[in-house]
Amino acid sequence: MKRRDFLKTAGVSAAALAMPGSMWAALSGLGADEIERRVKDLVAKMSLSEKIAQMHGNITAEHILVEIPLMSKRRFTWNTPADQRLGIPGIRSVDGPRGSALGQSTCFPAGICRGASWDRDLEERIGTAMGFETRAQGGNMHLSPCINLVRHPSGGRNQETFGEDTHHVGVMGVAQTAGIQRHVMACPKHYAANNQEGNRFSVNVRMSERVLREIYLPHFKKCVDAGAAGIMSAYNDLNGHLCGQNKHLCREILKEDWGFQGFVVSDWINAVDDAVAAAQAGLDLEMPAGAHYGGKLKRAVEAGLVPQSMIDESVTRLLRMKLKFISEDMKSGYDQGMVAGPGHTALAREAAAKGMVLLKNDNAALPLDRGKIRTVAVMGSLADVANIGDKGSSSVNPPYRISPLQGLRDRAGGVKIVHESGANLGRARQVARAADAVVVIAGATSKDEGEGGYGLGDRLDLNLHQQELDLIRAAAPETGRLIVVLEGGGAFTLEDWKDEAEAIVMAWYPGMEGGNALADLLFGDENFSGKLPVTFHRSEDQLPSFDNQAKEIEYDYYHGYRLFDKKGLEPLFPFGHGLSYTSYKYANLRLSAKSIGQSGKLKAMVDVTNVGDRAGEEIVQLYVGYNGSRVDRSVKDLKAFGRIKLEPGKTGTMELEVAAPELAYYDQEKGGWEVEEIEYIVYAGPSSRSSDLLQSTFKISGP
Ligand code: BGC
């Protein structure tokens, strides 16, 4: 899509479209050299106090006493001060990954639902819309994307991120970053290894350098390479140091090794406890106040504990991004009417429809054919709730929200929709018996999971609530068409009851338009195309250990599908799985070469045929395995994916590319990446565990 058309889709006015330059050119219109010249000039004019004022937030008592308790109705931005003397603007930052937290904005499906779309173009359009809404309402930095990895289904913030796999999360994170930065600064978070809420402020996560480099960091590196303005450090410790005071993470890897040009911002509550350690580690901005980066940092510089050069470096990074992204009148040309306007809410609906996953569909229970079905019973305590996610920092307050019941009613045509909460099992049985199909909406809400501190945090019980299990078991024998729609941030334990339902849909937290998208899919007006960005386990003993009270945890190389592959475990629904109302056949996997060099690229082509009778969009996945590696490797790693749209009977060729350096392992002894000269196995197909996975091999040798 051309940039101009792209921005139009996101509802950007003509004035904003007139912004000069390419995608990564400065929004302010200044060239890179001019920015560096101005930064240098400004830094030379600044006193130590002025510099330090740039390095921390200026939260006020009013924020703390009045606004923060009203998180869900947030109208304030998290600010850093402007410098009036030198004309330097302040940062006005806004959460977050589900949409703009300001005012009444578009509430998109939670990140995990969008992750299930595997649609980078869609995610870029969503990022563009989020950036637009934040800017139109006075922000200049959007605190997103959240690119934590889902390590275990219990993690309270799993809903905010895209999934369990570093490649997939990285690609989606880059897409959102690129979109946001069409309007404001983005801030990928939380760097790094932030996977649980129970004791997020104090847990020390331990891991080897290889695990860090290969599993927990590549998605951040991708966002840095894409030009992210900020990176937010995580609350937890990594290998004995708070992430924001972790010199290895922030200075050595992020800044020195990756060449990050932006600034490191601390997470919000007690993420810094030592000004000297933080400055030396490379933390540039303490938010939301200068608890350590105010007077304490100034005194540390005066006492010679922190060199002036470090302060200058931080200020340089902050000013560079301000000059790149902040212009004098940020709001000019940004039409308030487009905030949660029809363009953006349509995007929310598209994302929900593309992110919901059809896990099973026995006897073609779905779609519900309006010509054949007269009555649908909609049941469960979540049926008439628009369940949009937790109440933590990512919460968004949309002007309206559509529940499953409302969506189904509005789109029912001649079909009669009967609503039954399910609290009375006797009545539920009767209603189920009288209906042609039963839809039970079940799962988790903000009372079960979310960001720690705003609710329960981690979801320690992975089962559905007993009342929901009772309802499923009561309704099942009364109908031959039981459809269970699950909502929540990740996998549930389904093994015990999954056979009782003909169809199961994973709807996640589908956003303000969720009910409409669900109805579109259940009635077959839209086809399912979403696929799982996380593994659904059969039993909890298959999962990595999860102790959210531990003071220290060790992460090894394996979680998600890599763990299931390595241990030879059978998931209930594998990573990458998702059905649709049509089916696809894969054939003819061919590679562009039998051998490539260590810096070469390989193209894989695979033919996909829509062998059903409905149009659809298929997500094609490419994994790579290793033959004869000298180190322990995954059975296979996701390395590329794409979506292909196919009319019935049509065949299309999906072309996916892998670069040899992406196949390297990190040699901790040498302190560098090693692309091995061995044989690699390419797997291409519809999921990580499909019998349809096609295979081929190639070698890497020579430079
Ligand atoms: C969260 C961040 C968020 C920040 C500001 C923190 O508690 O961890 O993700 O951006 O608050 O709301």
Q: Per the structure, how many domains does the chain have?
A: 3
pLDDT in tens, 313-327: 999 999 999 999 998
Which tens digits make up the pLDDT trace of 634-664? 999 999 999 999 999 999 999 999 999 999 9
| Positions in the chain short of pLDDT 50 | 1-25
Pair (93, 233) in one structural domain: yes
Residue 419 lies in a domain: yes
Q: What is the pLDDT of residue 691?
A: 87
Ligand 1 pocket: which of 67, 393, 454 to mutate (most atoms <8 Å of CB)?
A: 393
Among the listed residues 83, 267, 390, 458, the single catalytic one is 267
Is 274 among the residues known to form the active site? no
Does 154 lie in the same domain as 125? yes
Q: Which amino acid is at 37?
A: R
Do 191 and 278 share a structural domain?
yes
Residue 325 lies in a domain: yes
- How high is the pLDDT of residue 19? 35
Of 293, 314, 337, the residue that ends a domain is 337
In a shared domain, residues 254 and 201: yes
- What distance in angstroms lies between residue 269's CA and the mean position of ligand 1's atoms? 8
- End-to-end Cα separation, the chain, in angstroms: 35
CATH at residue 690: 2.60.40.10
- Do residue 30 and residue 122 come from a single domain? yes
Sheet holding 694-700, edge to edge: 595-596, 694-700, 679-685, 616-627, 637-646
Q: Tell me the β-bridge partners of 230.
A: 263
CA of 116 to the centre of ligand 1 (A): 23
Q: Please report, for the domain that includes residue 325, its CATH number.
A: 3.20.20.300
Domain boundary among 535, 567, 599: 567
Spatial contact of 219 and 164, defined as CB atoms under 8 Å apart: no
Rg, C-alpha atoms of the chain = 25
Residue 489 CA to residue 60 CA, distance in Å, equals 33
Q: Are 100 and 171 within one domain?
A: yes
For the whole model, what pTM was predicted?
Answer: 0.96
Q: Are 202 and 156 in contact (CB under 8 A)?
A: no
Distance separating alpha carbons of residues 567 and 458, to the nearest angstrom: 26
Dist. CA 456 → ligand 1 center (Å): 16
SS3 assignment, position 282: coil
Q: How is residue 702 written in tokens?
A: 């020579």
pLDDT of residue 5: 40
**Residue 393 CB–ligand 1 contact under 6 Å:** yes
Q: Can you say whether residue 87 is alpha, beta or left, with left for phi > 0 and alpha for psi between -120 and 50 degrees?
A: left
CA distance 598 to 680: 12
pLDDT on residue 328: 76
Pair 222, 171: CB distance under 8 Å: yes
pLDDT value of position 28: 81
Phi–psi pair at 170, nearest 5 degrees: -65, -45
pLDDT at 241: 98
Residue 127 in any domain: the answer is yes
The answer to whether residue 578 sits within a structural domain is no
Rounded CA gap, 686 and 504, in Å?
Answer: 19
Range(s) of the domain holding residue 480: 351-567
How far apart CA 703 and CA 589 sit, in angstroms, is 26
Q: Where are the alpha helices (DSSP H) in 525-594?
A: 560-567
Burial per residue of 618-649, b for 16 or more beta-carbon CB atoms within 10 angstroms, e otherwise: bbbbbbbbbeebeeebbbbbbbbbbbbebeee
> Same domain, yes or no, for 506 and 612?
no
Q: Is the CB of 160 under 6 A from ligand 1?
A: no
Q: What is the CATH number of the domain that holds 439?
A: 3.40.50.1700
672-674/665-667 β-pairing: antiparallel
Q: Judge whether 254 and 224 are in contact, CB under 8 Å.
A: yes
Specify the pLDDT at position 521: 98
Q: Are residues 276 and 403 in the same domain?
A: no
What token pair was written down for 174? 């880059």
